[in-house]
């Protein structure tokens, strides 16, 4: 009898081991693990509708130093809602992308760290917070890296070799089940704006009441568009086939980025440079070399001898429109404004795009007169794909408080 019980118990254990083995192998390696890999954790799990859960993105550098990791993922937007991205515990210190595109079920995270970068078998890149929506029993992975070996436009891991070498050879995807059905709260409406990095929220004070102006056909253009006859937008990173020098295009000038640390500090992913013809590169005038890393995000600066104050979010800067706007942010102080050389101010791309911390609509600000406080905000009424096709960058959207958003008068939408 004891022998029969032992055989039964052993059979149950074997069955459980088989089930567990099948469960853990559902989210298999795509590619190979010969060099760096990216993975999600947990790789498999089950949830109920309306449960919230977190998925961590880990990197194994396979003994190599890396300066940039880009994790691009697709998720099942019908079964899950991507709520937020947490990078507080990331091994990387710098950020260039932190996007949730809920309309298309895409997440984009790009982070960096100056040389020598990161060397680890289990480095945390970021944590994505989800909410389970509708029941699903997937037959294949439903949280998947956008990955193709050698493709630097998708998930990448960039080696610290000064050449932008992508060493990502494999990824581990995720498979998540939602049991049952539910009628959850609706997902946020698709918007051109992804989930951006929050900035400190200032304490509110009394908001002026704007006077609406008649709707009109605005003509604001993004500051990144190139000047006449120039082939690449401002913000492009270019090099010629004949040289290892990498140039940053800003204010229609080409400025040499002296080393990888400078490149990363300006929020530019190593390995993202385009190799272009020397003829195209020669169309740009040569600006001063950029030899010093960028100032930290949130730094207030002005050019020596000038009164204009800017706030930095590398590689972009936003004009603080006038003293009234400055005082809407109680963490701002005039004493903290850094006086810098004009070349430093000009090394950042001017952006007039913003949204409030309580509204996902993106606006372009048309400045009329600082003296009278007249400026007009135009809603960028575009889909996400139209937004990108116009040359706009998600990273150039600044976050403002509601008081500043309501300070400006309202003009016509920007629709083309």
| 119 in Cβ contact with 63 (< 8 Å) | yes
Whether this prediction's pTM lies above 0.85 is answered by no
Single out the residue of 1, 389, 351 nearest to residue 196, CA to CA.
351
Q: Which domains does the chain have, with CATH numbers?
A: 23-178 (2.60.40.680), 237-410 (no CATH)
* DSSP secondary structure code for residue 264 in this structure: H
CB within 8 A of 188, min separation 6: which ones? 81, 102, 360
pLDDT in tens, 29-65: 999 999 999 999 999 999 999 899 999 999 999 999 9
pLDDT of residue 384: 82
pLDDT in tens, 191-205: 343 333 333 333 333
53-81 burial code (b ≥16 CB/10 A, e <16): bebbbbbbbbebebbbbbbbbbbbbebbb
Counted residue by residue, the chain has a size of 416
pLDDT in tens, 287-332: 999 999 999 999 999 999 888 999 999 999 999 988 889 999 988 9
pLDDT of residue 215: 65
pLDDT of residue 207: 33
pLDDT of residue 7: 52
CB within 8 A of 19, min separation 6: which ones? none
In this structure, what token pair is assigned to residue 49?
């509708």
d(CA 26, CA 24): 6
């Amino acid at each position: 009898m004891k022998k029969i019980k032992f055989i039964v118990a052993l059979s149950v254990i074997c069955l459980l081991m088989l089930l567990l083995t099948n469960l853990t192998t559902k989210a298999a390696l795509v590619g190979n693990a010969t060099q760096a890999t990216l993975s999600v954790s947990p790789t498999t799990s089950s949830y109920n509708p309306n449960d919230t859960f977190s998925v961590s993105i880990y990197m194994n550098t396979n003994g190599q130093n890396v300066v940039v990791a880009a994790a691009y993922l697709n998720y099942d937007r019908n079964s899950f809602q991507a709520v937020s991205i947490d990078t507080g515990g990331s091994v990387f210190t710098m950020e260039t992308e932190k996007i949730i595109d809920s309309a298309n079920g895409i997440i984009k995270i790009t982070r960096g760290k100056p040389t020598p970068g990161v060397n680890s078998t289990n480095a945390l890149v970021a944590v994505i917070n989800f909410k389970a929506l509708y029941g699903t029993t997937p037959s294949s992975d439903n949280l998947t890296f956008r990955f193709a070996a050698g493709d630097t436009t998708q998930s990448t891991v960039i080696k610290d070799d000064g050449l932008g070498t992508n060493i990502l050879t494999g990824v581990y995807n995720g498979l998540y089940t939602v049991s049952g059905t539910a009628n959850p709260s609706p997902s946020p409406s698709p918007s051109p704006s992804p989930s951006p990095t929050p900035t400190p929220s200032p304490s509110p004070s009394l908001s002026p009441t704007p006077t609406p102006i008649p709707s009109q056909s605005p003509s604001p253009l993004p500051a990144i568009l190139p000047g006449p006859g120039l082939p690449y937008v401002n913000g492009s990173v270019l090099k010629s086939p004949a040289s290892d020098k990498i140039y940053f295009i800003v204010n229609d000038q080409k400025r040499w980025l002296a080393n990888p640390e400078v490149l990363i500090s300006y929020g530019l992913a190593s390995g993202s440079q385009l190799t272009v013809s020397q003829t195209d590169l020669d169309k740009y005038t040569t600006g001063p070399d950029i030899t010093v890393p960028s100032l930290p995000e949130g730094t207030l600066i002005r050019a020596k001898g000038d009164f204009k104050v800017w706030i930095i979010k590398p590689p972009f800067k936003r004009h603080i429109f006038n003293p009234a706007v400055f005082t809407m942010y109680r963490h701002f102080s005039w004493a903290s404004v850094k006086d810098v050389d004009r070349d430093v101010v000009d090394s950042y791309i001017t952006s007039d795009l913003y949204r409030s911390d309580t509204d996902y609509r993106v606006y372009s600000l048309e400045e009329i007169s600082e003296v009278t406080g007249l400026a007009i905000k135009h809603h960028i009424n575009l889909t996400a794909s139209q937004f990108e096709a116009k040359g706009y960058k998600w990273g150039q959207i600044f976050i403002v408080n509601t008081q500043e958003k309501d300070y400006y008068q309202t003009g016509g939408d920007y629709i083309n």
